[in-house]
């Protein structure tokens, strides 16, 4: 290909067609490329821990996202604003658009291109929902809630022992005994929800919080 052909070559695209009929270009996302229900479904059908689970169903990112929001709320010394809760709820939203939750230890091997792709998706999410950038203090508090959720999931959902969580996975936070979701939704502690239930509950939380934006 000569220089003239290269200048006029089409930009590479990676189209995803959403259940709503909208189209998302994963390489050049815009905030209008999905409906809220598309995001809820995507997160409900995207699984943590590589889809591995000691239960009949794997744990969805949608269910994890609600857990993190509740844990962050419980740990905060002051009531979280709806916008702060929404940011917690949407902290992994780009994974629902991508349909892939990369295991954390593999992310360095995915390279800069994958990191840039996920960052563009995250930026589109923040623009769509009017989320403020993380302050250092807020992000540190978020990561504590996220790690607490991860430690608890590792034990109660995947089946790692507490010793393995610390010494094999390297998560230094002690797992919870009480599932924060049970107080809100009932059911059996730590049991993964089916995709339909996860999408419905995520959508309800999103609708509750997004109306304040």
Q: What is the mean pLDDT of residues 168-177?
A: 96
What is the spatial distance between Cα 61 and Cα 47, in angstroms, rounded to a whole number? 6
Whether 6 has a pLDDT exceeding 80, the answer reads no
Whether 5 has a pLDDT exceeding 70, the answer reads no
pLDDT of residue 103: 84
- Cβ 190 vs Cβ 157: under 8 Å: yes
pLDDT of residue 9: 54
What is the spatial distance between Cα 13 and Cα 24, in angstroms, rounded to a whole number? 10
Closest of 91, 63, 86, 20 to residue 198, by C-alpha? 63
> Topology of 31-210 in CATH?
Hypothetical protein af1432 (1.10.3210)
pTM of the model: 0.93
Confidence of residue 1 (pLDDT cuts 50, 70, 90): very low
Closest of 19, 59, 65, 48 to residue 202, by C-alpha? 65
Report the b/e string of 159-182 with b at 16+ CB within 10 A: ebeeeebbeeeebebebbeebbbe
Query: What are the tens digits of pLDDT across the range 48-97?
Result: 999 999 999 999 999 999 999 999 999 999 999 999 999 999 999 999 99
Query: What are the structural domain ranges in the chain?
Result: 31-210
């Amino acid at each position: 290909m000569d220089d003239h052909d290269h200048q006029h070559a089409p930009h590479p695209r990676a189209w995803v067609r959403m259940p709503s009929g909208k189209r998302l270009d994963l390489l050049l996302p815009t905030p209008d490329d999905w409906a809220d229900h598309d995001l809820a479904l995507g997160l409900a059908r995207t699984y943590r821990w590589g889809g591995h689970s000691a239960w009949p169903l794997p744990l969805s990112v949608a269910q994890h996202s609600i857990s993190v929001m509740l844990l962050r709320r419980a740990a905060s010394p002051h009531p979280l604003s709806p916008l702060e809760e929404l940011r917690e709820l949407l902290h992994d939203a780009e994974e629902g658009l991508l349909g892939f939750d990369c295991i954390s230890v593999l992310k360095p091997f995915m390279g800069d291109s994958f990191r840039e792709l996920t960052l563009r998706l995250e930026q589109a999410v923040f623009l769509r929902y009017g989320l403020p950038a993380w302050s250092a203090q807020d992000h540190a508090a978020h990561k504590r809630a996220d790690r607490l959720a991860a430690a608890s999931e590792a034990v109660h959902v995947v089946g790692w022992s507490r010793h393995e969580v610390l010494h094999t996975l390297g998560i230094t936070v002690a797992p919870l005994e009480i599932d924060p979701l049970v107080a809100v939704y009932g059911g059996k502690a730590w049991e993964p929800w089916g995709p339909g239930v996860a999408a419905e509950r995520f959508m309800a939380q999103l609708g509750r919080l997004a109306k304040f934006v």
